[in-house]
Amino acid sequence: MNCDVDADRFVPSVEEQNLLMNELVFIVASSVISNLPQMRAIFEKIYPKHLRHEFSDQAGEKTKQYPLGLTDCNENKTSEMIKMLKEFQRKYVPFKNEEIHESVFFGGDRLTDERIQSSQQAMLNAGSPAGRLEGFISKIEDFHRLMNFLEAIAKLTYSTDSGCDPGTMYYFRNKLNARNVKGKVTNSYRAHKYLYYTVLDALCCVMFLDEFEIVNFDDVIPLPENFDVKPNDEKIAWINEICANLLKKHLFNEGDDLMETLREILNDPNHPENYWISNMNDGRVQCHFCERSYAYVGSLKTHEETKHNAKVPKPKTSKESDTRSDDVESYCNVLFKLTLLHKNLDSAVDMADGNRSVRSAKYELPVYNLTNKTKYAIGSIHLIALTEGILSDEQRVRLTANRFINLQGGVNNNMALDEYVELLNRDSKIACSGFQTKESILYHSKEFPMVVNFVKHHDSICDVTQRKGFHHLPSYLEDVKKVAVELAEMKAIKHVNGRKLKCKTLTKTGKDIFDKCFQHLGTMIFRHKPLYAYHRLRNKKI
């Protein structure tokens, strides 16, 4: 089970971007239908709520749970992790003739993924697969990916210095009085997501109205002749075509390949970014000026600098003229692209679309690289490599299909496995407070999910129907309208020469954000792409 995955496979192909287009058309159309009253009246009952995929028939099934209880283990100690994995391997991994019959996936956040790999690396010299702990294949899960992806997006688009810049996220945070959007994204993820989706829906509505050259949010949208009597399929095709046109204009920038520049750089051995890894030969790096070769890139760098006085050429970056650039348009374009990609992953989790979820890692990787989120960049590299050739076909299907849990049934009611575990951990800490010793807590831990479930449904079990109180939330539709009206008035998606943002930290990326993500990405992929499913630590020679 080993395979070398080419570097360009870590960037989405044109065919995969065509799949992305169909998925984003569904998301944008759903947003427009939800937030524009005229479209909602026509399409609310006929537009599909679920985007069909390979696992749709299973996505609505209620998940059966088998609580395993708590385990006494300190993850910071490799010895205790090894002991825990050995015990779990004995209990839960199928054996045949004292050999591992089938490996089991072990999920968690990036830190858990790394610790499992370190434990397997520590046991690499054992004489059997079971001794090397190859009963488990670790993986990162989707809820932590969502949080970290939004955190990376916030690094590029959210700054507390931009309160005086209309059209920015912090400006709308203050305008909508979203006081719960504060601190780190990972500490208030849902509040940040709610704000970003509000602005995204507003941008979708403004772009949709712009296709009809309409500025006023409440103006009537012209419909084709005899639209009322047309079949539902034709009505859906009409709105999908309009959404596809606005995506080609604002997401793909009138091109067919969002990642063309990035793919060309990764495939070009003469590009300065690939200078140190282009001369690999039999696992050794060759000097560019003589016949010497080295096992480590660091040694080659020292050799070329001291013996040949060589300097690595720096890649050229193009800059727009100050008189022609428009900071506001570029910012809104980047915000639209990145938030839409985040919502695509979020939607894939809701609909249990494992293939779309895994494929999303190819769009996250460049953003993680640009924002220096190294651990999740490595996690994306590993996830892509597992599905692009390292795993067998059967294992790949299991990895993509079994990423979600459905607690109530229904095709759009899924959540990521690690999100449910986080909720279960929180509730279990409350449930176990009555047990004072560690031994007692471990002994009763299998009961905690049942107790939590009972408490959550106590009213319905006891036939208590009276409402206990009211919780007033601001109107989401009103918030979207408020943002959309302001974006339309300031012509945020139109190009205005010389328009600037006062906050300079939001103007560094430019409009074509995926053209700015190449620095060190090729080396990062080459250093961390795994050859085996079980031990995937970095290549120390790079």
- Give CA separation, 37 vs 33, 34, 205, 213, 244, in Å: 8, 8, 11, 18, 21
Domains of the chain, by residue range, sit at 1-275+313-457+487-542
**Residue 139 clears pLDDT 60, i.e. is over it:** yes
Q: What's the rounded mean pLDDT across residues 150-159?
A: 95
Q: What's the rounded mean pLDDT across residues 484-502?
A: 92
pLDDT by residue (tens digit) across 77-110? 999 999 999 999 999 999 998 899 999 999 888 8
Q: What's the rounded mean pLDDT across residues 191-198?
A: 96
Closest residue by Cα to residue 367 from 186, 110, 159, 149: 149
Q: Higher pLDDT residue, 291 or 353?
A: 353
**Residue 340 clears pLDDT 50, i.e. is over it:** yes
- Distance, in Å, from the CA atom of 79 to the CA atom of 313, rounded to the nearest integer, reads 45
pLDDT by residue (tens digit) across 279-324? 777 778 888 888 888 888 888 888 888 888 887 766 665 554 455 7
Give me the chain's average pLDDT, please: 88
Q: Is the dihedral of CA 236, 238, 243, 248 positive or negative?
A: positive
pLDDT for the residue numbered 15: 93
**Band (465; pLDDT cuts 50, 70, 90):** low
pLDDT for the residue numbered 473: 55
Burial of 30 from C-beta contacts in 10 A (0-12 / 13-18 / 19+): buried
Q: What's the rounded mean pLDDT across residues 313-338?
A: 77
Q: Which helix (H) or strand (E) holds 477?
A: helix 476-489
pLDDT for the residue numbered 321: 47
**Band (188; pLDDT cuts 50, 70, 90):** very high
Q: Higher pLDDT residue, 279 or 211?
A: 211
pLDDT for the residue numbered 471: 47
- Give CA separation, 20 vs 30, 263, 379, in Å: 15, 17, 21
pLDDT over 90, % of the chain: 58
Q: What's the rounded mean pLDDT across residues 447-473?
A: 65
The residue to which tokens 């912090």 are assigned = 170
Torsion of CA 333, 338, 339, 342, to 10 degrees: 160
Closest residue by Cα to residue 32 from 170, 221, 182, 262: 221
pLDDT for the residue numbered 381: 94
Give the count of beta carbons closer than 10 Å to the beta carbon of residue 70. Answer: 17
